[in-house]
Structure 1
Amino acid sequence: MRKSSKPPFGAKTARGKPAPAAKGGRPAARPAGDVAFRRPSAELTIIFGYHAVREVLRAKKRKALDLFATPAAAEKLQPEIAASDVTTHVVAPEVLDARLGSDAVHQGVLLEARPLPALDIADIAINSGLVLALDQITDPHNVGAILRTAAAFAVDAVIVTERHAPEFSGILAKTASGGLEHVPLVEVVNLARALDQLGEAGFLRVGLDSEGPASLEDTVLSRPAVLLLGAEGKGLRRLTREKCDILARLDMPGAVKSLNVSNACAVALTLARRALAESS
């Protein structure tokens, strides 16, 4: 049972006892032997990185279980910790290094949480203006960057396939920098079938294709619309292309004629938002 009075920054040890304060008012870091992490499972998501963890605590769209933070990170996250019911463990940076690997840029904070609630195509088909669909993009850095961009452009949802998609935790969540908590994510078994459903719901299906017959900048768009992005190198799959109402390209006047898919996404969303504003 938790005590009614919280220690500084809401910090508790793995055994639920208040963390002793160090000089300067910060809670003292616990050694590795006093920290118990949960075992990996389908019901456990690991989020690390300051912005990613902060947005989980702020958005409150998923159940936050245990927060492991260095004294400095715990102090920085104090407002979010105070406003949540997460149990906080103040630990040394080496504890997080041991859990995540020395190469992980954890910024002194790791959160164990439940996965986000599952959504269905029907959940986004109403009142959506612009949706992204990712056709087997598997690199977590790219998908994380796309989610961050989607959150910045107020995209209504991102659709991914259950297979050939990265896990929505760890490095992807870190790269998304909180975007996971602000853009509804829909996993589908069959993307072509999902595109059929969106078409029946009145969505304009626009495939981004380097060989598209028209420039996206010159394409007339209407709401609701779904913008489809394919994996680097492969692009959109044949069946996905066939489900599109429009295939459009990004015109690039420079010597390099291709972009990383996450950069292409940012350019495409800029053009799509402008076209949709002009058509409204």
Structure 2
Amino acid sequence: MSQNRERNDRKGGKKQPFSARTSKASDTPRPGGWNPNPPPKSFADSRPRPPARGKVDADNLIWGRHPVLAALANPARKGMGRLMATPDRAAEIERDGLAPHGHAVEVMEAQALDRIVPVGAVHQGLVFKVAPLEGVGLEDFAEPASGIIVMLDQLTDPQNVGAIFRSALAFGARGIVVQDRHSPALAGALAKAAAGATERLPCARVTNLSRALERLADLGWRAVGLDGAAEETLDQALDHQPTVLVMGSEGDGIRRLVAEHCDALAQIPMPGGFESLNVSNAAAVALYEAAKKQTP
């Protein structure tokens, strides 16, 4: 029906079609009655609407079987948090003693857990509401100098950071160093991607990465930064000394001042002619190469 207002032509003897008549009070639907000319509905109005969800604070949540069980096994979590599980997961925790630090299980249905975690999160029947880990001091894992440390320069994507934690633990890294102001919390999607590695691998959150590299150098560490434009390859730059692998963000790479505090910059050679590795893939390759150099 046209949206333009149409005049009443009754005085001229013309009879308007029903659909064009001006509405009268009698046309107003009564409770329980039927409106013969309802207002048009848009397609969006006719679609079913999902139930309203509250705001999710993912920085205070850990979900998924491996991340939650790793958190429960971490002595630093003793006396902390709210553990929620589906009936089958709760039975598994009780049967296998998977909450060794006394966390009581709050049993919920899966649909209730769906409303607690972010949309699309795969909780696998386990959600742990707990504050993120505070982190440790740099010297806690840098002394004595031995092995590998990973430093992340302004990596903010939780999936990438979580994957790097997982690779770093797999290849025996001593710990991870991040800048406090530009790093995601060790929870939520990051903890899920790390599959429990954030609970087992120490992380130092420092104010200034350049000063952290200076301190590590004083303790006997040698820093190698990954840079796609470097002249040396990773194999050429690495040696048997205790090594700090410095990784930059995918967009900007290692910042200038941080790069200047590295002892060497190196690239991962890609004979395929296409730089297709994201930062978490590059970190896994670098950790593998560095671990080989550390082997006696």
User: What's the TM-score once normalised by structure 1's chain length?
Assistant: 0.80
Change (3 A) 1:218 1:80: farther
User: Equivalent residues in 2 for 1:69-88 (5 A)?
Assistant: 69-78=85-94, 79-81=96-98, 83-88=100-105
Query: Does the Cα contact within 8 Å between 2:135 and 2:202 map onto a contact in 1?
Result: no
Query: Does the Cα contact within 8 Å between 1:46 and 1:110 map onto a contact in 2?
Result: yes
1:111 to 125, 128, 137: 128
What whole-Å deviation, never above 9, does each CA across 1:40-84 have from its counterpart, x for those lacking one? Answer: 69xx83211100001111232323422100112223333244533
1:158 is aligned to 2:173: no
Query: Does the Cα contact within 8 Å between 1:57 and 1:80 map onto a contact in 2?
Result: no
**Corresponding residue for residue 250 of structure 1:** 268
Whole-Å Cα distance in 2 between the matches of residues 208 and 199 of structure 1? 18
Whole-Å Cα distance in 2 between the matches of residues 82 and 270 of structure 1? 33
1:123 to 110, 127, 140: 140
In structure 2, runs of 5+ residues without a counterpart are 1-55
In structure 1, runs of 5+ residues without a counterpart are 1-38
Change (3 A) 1:73 1:243: same
Q: Which runs of 4+ in 1 moved over 4 A?
A: none
1:101 is aligned to 2:123: no
User: What's the TM-score once normalised by structure 2's chain length?
Assistant: 0.76
Query: Does the Cα contact within 8 Å between 1:65 and 1:114 map onto a contact in 2?
Result: yes
Q: Secondary structure at the match of 1:77?
A: helix
Q: Secondary structure at the match of 2:116?
A: helix
- The amino acid of 1:272's aligned partner reads A
**Corresponding residue for residue 74 of structure 2:** 59
1:172 is aligned to 2:187: no
Change (3 A) 1:214 1:104: same
**Corresponding residue for residue 19 of structure 1:** none
The alignment of Structure 1 onto Structure 2 pairs a total of residues equal to 239
Whole-Å Cα distance in 2 between the matches of residues 94 and 229 of structure 1? 39
Whole-Å Cα distance in 2 between the matches of residues 133 and 101 of structure 1? 29
Q: Secondary structure at the match of 2:244?
A: strand
Whole-Å Cα distance in 1 between the matches of residues 134 and 118 of structure 2? 28
Whole-Å Cα distance in 1 between the matches of residues 99 and 113 of structure 2? 22
Q: Structure 1 stretch 166-175 or stretch 74-83: which is displaced more?
A: 74-83
Whole-Å Cα distance in 2 between the matches of residues 220 and 132 of structure 1? 14
**Corresponding residue for residue 219 of structure 2:** 201
What whole-Å deviation, never above 9, does each CA across 1:217-245 have from its counterpart, x for those lacking one? Answer: 23341332100000002110000110000
Q: CA RMSD in A?
A: 2.0
